Structure 1
Amino acid sequence: MTDRWIELDGLVNMRDLGGLPTRDGGRTASGRLIRSDNLQDLTDADVTHLVHAVGVSDIIDLRTEVEVHLEGPGPLRRVESLTHHHHSLIAAKGEEDLDALAAKALAVPWSPDGTRRDASFWAEHYLGYLAARPDSVAAALRVIADAPGAAVVHCAAGKDRTGTVVAMALDVAGVPHEEIVADYVLTAERIEAIIGRLMSRPAYGHALSQQSIDEQSPKPESIEAILRAVDAGWGGAAGWLRDHGWTTSDVEGLRHHLTR
């Protein structure tokens, strides 16, 4: 699976979701859906490669308003041919301080009293995205379905929020759960480099300094839990989308876009 990495100078966790097997014997299409970490450090050469070689047309930003404000506009904002979509997966609750928002954004596994949470925390965190911001999850998937070129979905690390949206998209495409999980944990190959990039950022550094690399590494049970919950509650991501306003034709459109 590692040949799906897109190697650029300004990021460390970008890969194409093409080439994954589907339950009907097919494969997901390359150049349709790309997952990534923070896009702030892209070089001019990186931007040129993404636009002209990869064929990126749409950017789906899952970060909070605070993160976007602190980070400022990234290099891709200067490209007029790209369409940018902001769909935060974290519901703002009044005037939260930066550390609290960073803890939510990065799924920091410690509670307010300083104790460590167990592995179930991650699964609950991901399910919380669907419960608190179903509008953003559905909107992000709509962008993927309608994108004329490749859609890049990203957050900060490209792991938790991005992983949730990607898992939903791949489930609609008919990718078996074990393959979705395998893609999710592939981020572990780059986790040290991902954290290294974010540590210098004002939005994330303090929160990340209080935990280990292992605590941020993706665990299979985290994404397995969301897939099981969606399967049990709605018969899969397709049913979840229909319950949130999508028609059967809409769902089929996303599936065909990701596989044809």
Structure 2
Amino acid sequence: MTLVNFRDPAALADPEGRWIRPGVLHRSAQPYPADDAAIVEQLNAAGVRTIIDLRGDSECEDADWARSRAAGIEVVAARVQPTGPGLEAAMKDMATDADLGLFYLLMAESAPEAVKLAVEAAARPGALLVHCAAGKDRTGWLTALLLDLLGVPAEEIVADYHRTTAALPQIFEGLAERNRAALNDYHAGSLTVPRPLLEAPAGAMAAFLELVDARYGGTEGLLAHCGVDAATVEAFRAKAAAGATTAGVTA
């Protein structure tokens, strides 16, 4: 079974190649039930050499990426825990799309080491895949930050995030099969998953980008807050920006 919602944002967010070098950045949901020969073939066909896994410790299983690792694809565990100080309270109070955007910023702020590790991995030579569990929330805001570094307009970043909507039924079916206690029985009924988290609303990503600008002056400010240095940002741009002359996308 191939990866659900696997796509290159450049294909639809930037079909004219104005900002993103095609084939550098891919996103998806987690492998289900685990990676297999079809997924390895899918990744190899896309030239993926590095997988950035944003899931928390309790969400991962040893077999998830075993076949891909054996095939020589590196998996970087950049753990962003889905719950923690402040996050559960924010989830409990979540009612609007803008609340979800704030939740995304809180997640990023709660995991500076993971953000740093992820961006450093994104700057390595070769194409990359970013994923979490659903491939929507953590994948969404990290992909948004990377696209913003390349100068992709906010409206295109928002549109790319919202495209996950079409894949949500298949994504949630896989999540429920893997963890039947999840979704609206989260933490043994102690926390109901709010409506925005079950969608990919454009307003959430728009709010996230606005908050990043308001609090940090833009993506580079947030990444610096997380410990990402300027050299790493420039290395990613040199690899992924449209018109880049580096051979950094090759294996």
After TM superposition, the score normalised by the length of structure 2 is 0.80
Which of 49, 55, 59 is equivalent to 1:57?
49
1:127 Cα deviation (Å)?
1.1
Query: Is 1:35 matched with 2:17?
Result: no
Root-mean-square deviation (Å): 2.9
Q: Is the 8 A contact 1:37 1:194 kept in 2?
A: yes
Q: Which residue of 2 aligns with 1:124?
A: 102
User: Does residue 200 of the first structure (1) align with residue 177 of the second (2)?
Assistant: yes
Correspondence for 1:87: 78
Give the distance between the partners of 1:59 and 1:245, measured in 2 at CA: 21
Q: 1:182 aligns with which of 138, 159, 177?
A: 159
Contact 1:199 1:209 in 2 (8 A): no
Any stretches of 5+ residues in structure 1 without a counterpart? 1-8, 95-102
Q: Which amino acid aligns with 1:54?
A: A
| Aligned residue in 2 for 1:245 | 227
Aligned residue type for 1:240 = L
Amino acid at match of 1:207: A
* Mapping for residues 92-241 of structure 1, pairs under 5 Å: 111=92, 117-146=95-124, 148-202=125-179, 205-209=180-184, 216-241=198-223
2:249 paired residue number = none
Aligned to 1:4: none
After superposition, give the CA deviation of every residue in 1:108-159 in whole Å (9 maximum; x if it has no partner).
96x3xxx87333431221011122112211221111111x221111111100
CA contact (8 A) 1:181 1:220 kept: yes
User: Following the alignment from structure 2 to structure 1, what is the Cα–Cα distance between the partners of residues 95 and 225?
Assistant: 32
The one-letter code of the counterpart of 2:113 is: D
Q: 1:251 offset after TM fit, Å?
A: 1.8
SS at match of 1:157: coil
Taking the aligned partners of 1:118 and 1:176, their CA distance within structure 2 comes to 23
How far apart, CA to CA, are the structure 2 residues paired with 1:56 and 1:108?
35
Contact 2:40 / 2:68 at 8 angstroms: preserved in 1?
Answer: no
- Give the count of matched residue pairs: 231
Cα 1:44–1:180 shift into 2, 3 Å: same
The separation in 1 between residues aligned to 2:68 and 2:107, in whole angstroms, is: 26
Residue 17 of structure 1 aligns with which residue?
9
* TM-score calculated relative to the size of structure 1: 0.78
| Partner Cα separation in structure 1 for residue 175 and residue 153 of structure 2 | 32
In the alignment, is the contact (CA less than 8 A) between 2:104 and 2:208 conserved in 1? Answer: yes
Give, in whole Å, the separation in 2 of the partners of 1:134 and 1:168.
14
Aligned counterparts of 2:14 and 2:69: Cα–Cα separation in 1? 36
Q: CA deviation at 1:43?
A: 3.5
Contact 1:32-1:258 at 8 Å conserved across structures: yes
The separation in 2 between residues aligned to 1:249 and 1:46, in whole angstroms, is 33
Query: Partners in 2 of 1:240 and 1:59 — Cα distance?
Result: 22
Q: 1:133 to 1:91 in 2, by over 3 A?
A: farther
Partner of 1:34: helix, strand, or coil?
strand
